[in-house]
């Protein structure tokens, strides 16, 4: 079985059926509400909490990513200008600090949602995030191979 078929089957088994109940009016007001409710099998209350946490996280993460990008641009500038080692070291520390802040914010989100999502719902989210991360690497020109063609227990062979 191909990797694409294997992961498609795994995703289909992990995610609820697409034959979900009609979308409630309150979910139509929140973009993605019905999508997450269906994919993770969330109750209306869980969906409301999840979307609120996700919106807050996205706002914070955007600010943190913007700061990280600015710090990396500054580091690049220092390197191309031949700045002293001390300045480069300070810029590296600033990048590390921003990366840690970003990771901490994502950990805070994961801790918050674990208080009201079941283990199965958290597992579905983890699978979805992993599939998305693999796809993003492929979009960016990475050589990840087609993970969907991977057989259970089979590992990717280096090219």
Q: Where exactly are the structural domains of the chain?
A: 46-138
- pLDDT, mean over the chain: 76
The CATH class that applies to domain 46-138 reads mainly alpha
Query: The whole model's pTM is what?
Result: 0.61
What pLDDT does 119 receive? 93
Lowest mean pLDDT of 27-36, 39-48, 105-114, 117-126, name the range: 27-36
**From CA 123, how far away is CA 28, in angstroms rounded?**
25
Q: Give the burial class of 103: count Cβ atoms within 10 A of its Cβ; 0-12 exposed, 13-18 middle, 19 or more buried.
A: exposed
pLDDT in tens, 38-92: 888 899 899 999 999 999 999 999 999 999 999 999 999 999 999 999 999 999 9
**DSSP-derived secondary structure for 13-80:** HHSPPS-PPPPPHHHHHSTTHHHHHHHHT--HHHHHHHHHHHHHHHHHHHHHHHHHHHHHHHHHHHHH
């Amino acid at each position: 079985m191909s990797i694409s078929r294997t992961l498609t089957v795994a995703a289909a088994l992990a995610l609820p059926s697409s034959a979900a109940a009609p979308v409630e009016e309150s979910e139509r007001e929140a973009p993605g509400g019905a999508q997450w409710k269906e994919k993770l099998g969330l109750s209306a209350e869980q969906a409301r909490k999840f979307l609120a946490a996700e919106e807050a996280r996205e706002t914070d993460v955007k600010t943190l990513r913007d700061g990280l990008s600015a710090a990396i641009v500054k580091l690049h500038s220092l390197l191309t200008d031949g700045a002293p080692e001390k300045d480069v070291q300070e810029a590296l520390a600033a990048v590390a600090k921003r990366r840690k802040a970003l990771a901490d914010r994502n950990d805070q989100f994961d801790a918050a949602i674990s208080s009201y999502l079941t283990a199965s719902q958290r597992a579905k989210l983890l699978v979805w995030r992993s599939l998305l991360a693999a796809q993003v690497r492929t979009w960016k020109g990475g050589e990840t191979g087609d993970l969907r063609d991977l057989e259970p227990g089979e590992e990717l062979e280096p090219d």
